[in-house]
Amino acid sequence: MSKVGRIFFPANSRHGLWTIPLLVAICCCVGLAISTADFVSRQNVLNLFAQAAPLILVSIGQMIVILVKGLDLSVGSVVSLTTGILSLNAPFYVTVPAAMLTAAVVGLLNGVAVTRFRVHPIIATLSIMGITQGAAMFVRPSAGGTVASEIVALVSGELFGIYMPVIWTIAAILVGWRIVHGSRFGLHLFAIGGGETAATFGIAEQRNEVAAYVLSSCFAAAAGIFLAGRIASGDPNIGTQYAVDSITAVALGGTQLAGGIGSLHGTLIGCGLLALIANGMNLLNVSAFVQTIVKGAILLLVIALQPRKSIGL
């Protein structure tokens, strides 16, 4: 294979095929810039960042779980529950730790159910999703409430002339990079997802898996804090789409759902591509219902193209 070919189709890459989605994303950008007048405007680019930031946060957590052969369906309800807790009438230094702690407990429950009790990740996180969603509706039965002004300030406006969602995105990328590609823990994630012999090489498999689920929930809670600040209130249904969207973004970025293969940059590209598609359809005035259909179809296509050995879940 030629040198250029090897860059785009690396053999035996642990990072998965992220080059093709990158090319698609670039094509989308070029196409939208040509076909619509508003795409390259400053306001639209800022919107794009605000739309992508919570998805990026949730997807980084989702990817960490997928790397260890798991799947976290409860992230959406954790996002909803977080906005519910933040919109309670309490100062931010009470609600933010409370929300993070709750999320960590949810992640711990997921992890323990999967590792100690050998419940299939999908069943475990599906049932925990139901419980968390119930808790979210209990805390805030319908959209409303007010979020502490400090949190609102944290996501709106600018810092040193940089738009706040951009800062959130950069922070998420730095933290995600440190965890996935810059630490021993990250290497263990790949090893656990990659093969059954990981445990024999001295990796505490169960403990690392539980940590992956806890991290996923905490990233979802961070997305919840961002969203609560954006809408300045709580909403028990705001997170509904994030479970599916984050899985789509992770899969779009070349991460294998079977575990062991994936990358942070791939996930970022996947999130960017999803945000671009949504943004482009908005600019082209496509109905919201058609957008749902397109999103589902993309997920279906990406999944159907990922080769797997086993049949079923």
Partner 1 sequence: MTSRSSLLRAALRIPPSCVVFAVLLITLWVLRPNMMNPAILGTFARQVVPLGIVVLGQLLVISSRSIDLSAGGIILLVNYLISSGLLYSWPLLPIILLCLGVGLAVGLVNGLLVGKRRASAVIVTLAINIVLIGLVEYLANGKPPGDVPAEFRALYNLRFWTIPAPVMFWIALAGIMSAFLGASVFGRFVWSIGSNPTSAYFSGVPVERTVVAAHVIAGLMSAVAALVQTSSIAVGSVRFGPELVMNSIAATILGGVVFGRPAEVWGPFVGVLCFALLFVVMTTMGVQEPGKLIVQGLIILLAAIFYGLRSKSN
The answer to the question of residue 105 lying near partner 1 (CB under 8 A) is: no
The answer to the question of residue 144 lying near partner 1 (CB under 8 A) is: no
Q: How far, in Å, CA of 6 to CA of 19, rounded?
A: 11
The answer to the question of residue 126 lying near partner 1 (CB under 8 A) is: yes
- By CB under 8 A, the count of residues binding partner 1 is 48
The answer to the question of residue 42 lying near partner 1 (CB under 8 A) is: no
Q: Residue 158 pairs with which residues in a beta bridge?
A: 163
Collapsing DSSP to helix, strand or coil, 234 comes out as strand
**Is 64 or 155 the residue whose CB approaches partner 1 more closely?**
64
The answer to the question of residue 292 lying near partner 1 (CB under 8 A) is: yes
Least distance CB 277 / partner 1 (angstroms): 14
Q: How far, in Å, CA of 147 to CA of 124, rounded?
A: 31
- How buried is 205 (Cβ within 10 angstroms: 0-12 exposed, 13-18 middle, 19+ buried)? middle
Element (H, E) at 118: none
Using CB under 8 A, which of 189, 247, 261, 268 touches partner 1?
A: 247
Least distance CB 121 / partner 1 (angstroms): 10
Selected range binding partner 1 among 37-45, 132-140, 168-176, 197-205, rule: CB under 8 A: 132-140
Element (H, E) at 159: strand 158-159
Q: Are 67 and 212 in contact (CB under 8 A)?
A: yes
The answer to the question of residue 120 lying near partner 1 (CB under 8 A) is: yes
The answer to the question of residue 117 lying near partner 1 (CB under 8 A) is: yes
Q: How far, in Å, CA of 72 to CA of 65, rounded?
A: 7
Could you tell me the two tokens for 306?
């990922």
In the complex, the residues that contact partner 1 under the rule CB under 8 A are 71, 113, 117-120, 122-124, 126-138, 141, 244, 247, 251, 257, 287, 289-293, 295-297, 299-300, 303-304, 306-313
